[in-house]
Amino acid sequence: MSGAAGSEVDVLVVGAGPTGLTMAGQLARYGVRVRLVDRASGRAHESRALAVQPRTLEVLAGSGVTDEMVAAGNQAVRLTLHAGRRQRSVRLFDLGLPDTAYPYLLLLSQAETERLLGEHLTTVGVSVERGVELAGLDLTGRAAVATLRDRDGRVERVSTRYVVGCDGAHSAVRQFAGIGFEGAAYPQTFVLADLEVDGVEPDAAHAFLAGRGLLLLFPLGHPAGWRMVAMRPPDDRTSPGAPVHLAELQALADAYAGGGLRLHDPVWATNFRLHHRAATAYRSGPVFLAGDAAHIHSPAGAQGMNTGIQDAVNLGWKIAQALHTDADPALLDSYHAERAPVGRMVLRFTDRAFTVATSTNPLIRFARTRLAPALLPAVLAPRFVRATAFRTVAQLAIRYRRSPLSTEGPRAPRTGPRAGDRLPDVPLAGGRSLHRLAAAPGWHLLLCGPPQGWPADEIDDLTRHHRGRLTAHRLTPGADAEVLRRLGVSPGAHAGYLVRPDGHVGYRAGGTDLAGLRGYLRRWVGP
């Protein structure tokens, strides 16, 4: 804090959880002057969110943090269902998905995720200002003016072009901007704990399905061996704010697991209530919302933290481009157009999964405790069934085909990823991959087909005109035949794919005429 005198910054990010850390890192990667503040005096040391999805690992790979996350995490491969004395094991993630380098769910505590993201942030010259809260936000002028107050009561006014609220379900940014947050709370109370557990097979996730609720155990490793999630019985009136004792955890485990587990050495434990809510808008003028500030829901399917990180990746490059170029102002509006439908989809998915997992309806309870353990192993035995289901949970199927940024040009290939789709990862010659080829910041133009067909002078002119923002790559039928096939480009044919900085296809067209591409670049990348 620099006292009461005003200061200036390009972007103020409020909230230093995984979403805010990612947001600040993305902005710094593009040379944006950013400040990151958080009202808490230190980062989280509890595990909280504990699973990182494949798509999240993909979008963070360009910053270099993914390899460290994979090294620190646990690649879960098996779920064991327990219903009374019956036990069924289901292999979930040994899928061999051909279009991602991360075909698994990575178990990694939020504490470790935040640590690694924070360490990366320091390497790009951004520090987290902790113990600093947003005390006011004036949006009446040409720039937003934020009032910050630190733990000692010192006040600073900061003028900023944009404010990004990554400050959670009780977001001060959202409240100061007057953005609604619609939804409700679930009636159930849950217990969350990181602790040690004896009597359970290691290196597998466990679900104990009972008529009155459920108990979940996930192998964690750090800060404790296991993460426990348990639903309190419907008639349990324990206040969400009440402390949780080991004896209560053991009683819940006995009730759901039949007395076969011994719990000990808890690192932390808490009661919590779940909400399903969504912001009425992800943008209001210079204010944006991301992560839990924009959407909160049940932890079913491990979607929350991952959706927030991907919000940040979607928004970061757009803000940077709006600051540095004369791109169409509608570029920033595309954030809500693209991410709000994803937030709504996640809310629907998690709500349905949560209802099935917790309902006391006799039919649903029978299906949960009797049918699911008996049928799931057979239903999920075929690899293609598991792969299809996993792609949705893994967030690999998210696409923005209806976005204003998604344009199908003339004679676009009949197959392959369409405009708005995620670019698949495909191995290239020499140990490279398509994602690594397009990992550097900026837009990437994939020139597919025989090299002699492309107008070299025009392509050189394009890359010079958008120097530092556009990189061209040639994919030829010989060395890159498999890549061209996956992109839907027929042997001997030509096509161009323009890949956005977040790894989604922005524009594609068949042939070698660059007129449509030039128009797209003028509008969305800037003259």
The DSSP code sequence of 230-265 is EEPPTT----TTS---HHHHHHHHHHHHTT--EEEE
Closest CA to 309 of 17, 34, 18: 18
Q: How far is CA 433 from the centre of its chain?
A: 22
User: Where do the structural domains in the chain lie, given as residue ranges?
Assistant: 7-44+110-180+280-359, 183-275, 407-524
pLDDT for 3: 47
Cβ–Cβ under 8 Å, residues 277 and 170: no
Write down the architecture of domain 407-524 according to CATH. 3-Layer(aba) Sandwich (3.40)
Q: Are 209 and 372 in contact (CB under 8 A)?
A: yes
Say if CB 279 and CB 181 are below 8 A apart: yes
Strands 144-150 and 132-138: antiparallel
- Read off the pTM: 0.89
- Spelled out in words, what is the top-level CATH class assigned to the domain 183-275? alpha beta
Query: In whole angstroms, how far apart are CA 469 and each of 54, 170, 422, 439?
Result: 26, 37, 20, 13
Question: 7-44+110-180+280-359 in CATH: which number?
Answer: 3.50.50.60
Question: Torsions phi, psi of 444, nearest 5?
Answer: -130, 130
Per-residue pLDDT of the chain (527 residues; tens, 9 = 90+): 554 556 899 999 999 999 999 999 999 999 999 999 999 987 765 556 778 999 999 999 998 899 999 999 888 667 888 876 777 777 666 556 789 999 888 888 888 899 999 999 999 999 999 999 999 999 987 889 999 999 999 999 999 999 999 999 999 999 999 999 998 877 778 898 999 999 998 888 898 877 677 888 988 877 888 989 888 887 777 887 889 999 999 999 998 888 889 999 999 899 887 778 899 999 999 999 999 999 988 766 567 899 999 999 999 999 999 999 888 999 999 999 999 999 888 877 776 666 655 656 566 555 555 555 555 555 555 555 556 667 777 789 899 999 999 999 999 999 999 999 999 999 998 888 999 999 999 999 999 999 989 999 999 999 999 998 999 999 999 889 999 999 999 999 999 999 999 999 999 999 999 999 999 999 999 87
Rg (C-alpha) for the chain, rounded Å, is 24
The amino acid sitting at 261 is L
Q: Show the 3-state SS of 455-495.
A: CHHHHHHHHHHCCCCEEEEEECCCCCHHHHHHCCCCCCCCE
Only one residue has tokens 């000990």, namely: 264
The answer to whether 423 and 417 are in contact (CB under 8 A) is yes
- Cα 9 → chain centroid: 26
The DSSP bridge partners found for residue 197 are: 263
- CA neighbor of 248 nearest in space, from 272, 230, 273: 230
End-to-end CA distance of the chain: 38
The SS3 assignment for 93 reads coil
Tell me which H or E stretch contains 397: none
Do 7-44+110-180+280-359 and 407-524 agree at the fold level? no
Q: In the prediction, which pLDDT does 148 show?
A: 97
